[in-house]
Structure 1
Amino acid sequence: MRGLYFEEFEVGTVYRHTFRRTVTEMDNVMFTSLTMNVAPIHLDAEYAKTTVHGKPLLNSLFTLALIGAFHVPELTMGTTLGNLGYEEVRFPAPVFHGDTLRGETTIVDKRESKSRDDSGVVWFEHRGYNQDDVLIMSCKRVGLMMKRPADGSVFGEERQA
Structure 2
Amino acid sequence: MAGLYFEDCREGLVVEHAIRRTVTETDNILFSAMTYNCAPLHIDAEYCKDSLYGQRLVNSMFLLALVAGVTVYETTLGTTLGNLGFQEIKFPKPTFHGDTIRVRTEIVNARLSKSRNDSGIVTFRHVGLNQRDEEVCVAVRTGLMKLRPQQ
Fold conserved (TM > 0.5)?
A: yes
C-alpha RMSD of the superposition: 0.8
For 1:118-157, list aligned pairs within 5 A: 118-150=118-150, 152=151
CA offsets per residue over residues 132-161 of structure 1, 9 Å max, x none? 1011110110000011123x3xxxxxxxxx
CA distance in 2: counterparts of 1:10 and 1:114, whole angstroms: 18
Identity of aligned residues (%): 54
After the TM superposition, which parts of structure 1 deviate over 6 Å for at least 4 consecutive aligned residues?
A: none
Q: Does residue 71 in structure 1 map to residue 64 in structure 2?
A: no
CA distance in 1: counterparts of 2:87 and 2:43, whole angstroms: 27
Q: Tell me which residue corresponds to 2:25.
A: 25
CA offsets per residue over residues 36-81 of structure 1, 9 Å max, x none? 1010110000001111010000000000010111111111000111
State the secondary structure of the residue aligned to 1:18. coil
Question: Can you give the 5+ residue segments of structure 2 that lack an aligned partner in the other structure?
Answer: none
CA distance in 2: counterparts of 1:79 and 1:13, whole angstroms: 17
CA distance in 2: counterparts of 1:100 and 1:8, whole angstroms: 29
Length-normalised TM-score, structure 1? 0.92
Question: Can you give the 5+ residue segments of structure 1 that lack an aligned partner in the other structure?
Answer: 153-161
CA distance in 2: counterparts of 1:98 and 1:139, whole angstroms: 22
Which of structures 1 and 2 has the bigger CA Rg? 1
User: How many residues are treated as equivalent by the alignment?
Assistant: 151
Q: CA deviation at 1:27?
A: 0.1
